[in-house]
């Protein structure tokens, strides 16, 4: 997939998620209490739990996407430097062979 299509897909996915969460919020106002081992929350609406879960998922996704982009840009810079060094070596060999 090309970059504009990836961006469009991500935006459509996020908009679809927001629409889905909005519908879920309107249909499920019941309070829930989260429990994990000894940890408990105060009763909060089911929709708030869904929104928090969605936002945490978006945050994790952004973290992994940003780390992949940074990794690729670092690799790209390294390859550019290596390419430049190889071009200089080729130029020095070709100029020394002409003499």
Q: How far apart are CA 65 and CA 71, in angstroms?
A: 10
Mark out the alpha helices in the chain (DSSP H runs): 3-27, 46-98
Number of compact structural domains in the chain:
1
Q: pLDDT band for position 96 (50/70/90)?
A: confident
Q: How far apart are CA 88 and CA 86, in angstroms?
A: 5
Instruction: Tell me the pTM.
Output: 0.53
- Domain housing 59: 13-98
pLDDT over 90 at 24, yes or no: no
Residue 20 pLDDT: 83
Residue 1 pLDDT: 56
51-91 pLDDT tens trace? 788 789 888 988 988 888 899 999 999 999 999 999 999 88
Does residue 1 fall inside a structural domain?
no
Which residue's entry shows tokens 């430097």?
Answer: 81
Residues 45, 24: contact at Cβ < 8 Å?
A: no
Does residue 26 fall inside a structural domain?
yes
Does residue 3 fall inside a structural domain?
no
More confident residue, 31 or 3: 31
């Amino acid at each position: 997939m090309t970059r504009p299509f990836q961006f469009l897909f991500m935006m459509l996915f996020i908009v679809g998620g927001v629409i889905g969460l909005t519908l879920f919020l309107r249909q499920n106002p019941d309070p829930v209490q989260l429990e994990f081992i000894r940890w408990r929350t105060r009763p909060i609406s089911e929709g708030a739990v869904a929104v928090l879960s969605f936002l945490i998922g978006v945050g994790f996704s952004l973290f992994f996407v940003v780390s992949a982009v940074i990794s690729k840009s670092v690799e790209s810079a390294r390859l550019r430097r290596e390419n430049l060094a190889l071009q200089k070596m080729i130029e020095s060999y070709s100029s020394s062979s002409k003499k």
